[in-house]
Amino acid sequence: MKKLLTLSAIACATLSPAAMAAEEVNVYSYRQPFLVEPMFNEFTKETGIKVNVKFAKKGLAEKLAQEGEYSPADVVLTTDISRLAELTNKGLVQSVDSEVIEANVPAQYQDKENEWFALTLRTRNVYSSRDRVGKLGDDFNYADLAKPEFKGKICTRSGKHPYNVSLVSAMIAENGEAATKQWLEGVKANLARKPQGNDRAQVKAIKEGLCDVALGNSYYLGKMVNDAEQKAWADSVYINFPNQETTGTHVNISGMAMAKYAPNQENALKLMEFLTGDKAQQMYAEVNYEYPVKPGVKPSELVASWGEFKADPISLDDIASHHAAAIKLLDEVKFDL
């Protein structure tokens, strides 16, 4: 009888919504396990709140929509402003009121309705061959990629990858659709090969002599430097920050949002505030070679060695508003074909 009572008590404790709310928070994440789990472990250590994580490479917005009000998700972690905008546009997240987050995340890097917040920053930089091109000067701009001297020398991943769509969106916001379309036509004409692979594959292509310059996110350089098989790729290029004498280098983010039907809202808020704090921000910087979003938190020693840069101050909300136009232009110029 005692054993039955004990099992019954355990079952009640396990299934009780109140017990779950007091001790757990559920995260849907596009971010890789090795990156976020150390921070979740530290959060649990400090608060006693267990973090349950469901990792995915794609389809989180569709999953949230399908689950609706029965979704267990409390917090969504994702990369790129386009994926965060998708969550807000589909009504899958809710507004969060937090003085802590407001103080930690600059206004440029949060939704005007407080439905998403940046956690880390990364630049969309240009890699150049050390041997064949050298370091590009501060007067180098994204616009220069369309110039005749780069004919047959550029590599990039798909134009429709979110990282490139966001860059095109930023150019639309600053230069208009007509000028951006002309730029895309020029870049396409200068490609050394059909867009393919990921950002690291472009650096490999530079190492192999297939092209001389490539678009890529900054943190990939840190990953390659610390990968025995890829270090030679990293050593073959310089990292360059375009538009330093004009608008500044395009910056994208990884970010977070609270799910619309979050069953553990209080714990979700605690986790979101923790992720914007000094300890988590420093962990992000050291583990994934990204720039902390919180002012005053320093990047890793390796990232700092790449030098300081001026970031484009344009609002990410503004960039997100041009994503549909960016996709349209990429289709019109048949960028990936």
Binding region for Fe cation: 219-220
CB contact at 8 A, 199 and 220: yes
What whole-number distance in Å separates Cα of residue 261 and Cα of residue 7?
31
Cα 136 to the chain's mean position, in Å? 25
Q: How far apart are CA 44 and CA 105, in angstroms?
A: 22
Strand partners, 254: 79, 120
* Cβ neighbour number for residue 185 with a 10 Å cutoff: 16
Say if residues 124 and 254 touch (Cβ distance below 8 Å).
no
As to burial, measured by CB atoms within 10 angstroms (0-12 exposed, 13-18 middle, 19+ buried), residue 130 is: middle
CA distances from 277 to 104, 206, 326, 335 (A): 7, 38, 34, 40
Q: Tell me the CA distances in angstroms from 225 to 220, 228, 232, 233, 278, one per residue in order.
A: 9, 8, 8, 8, 25
Annotated binding-site positions: 219-220
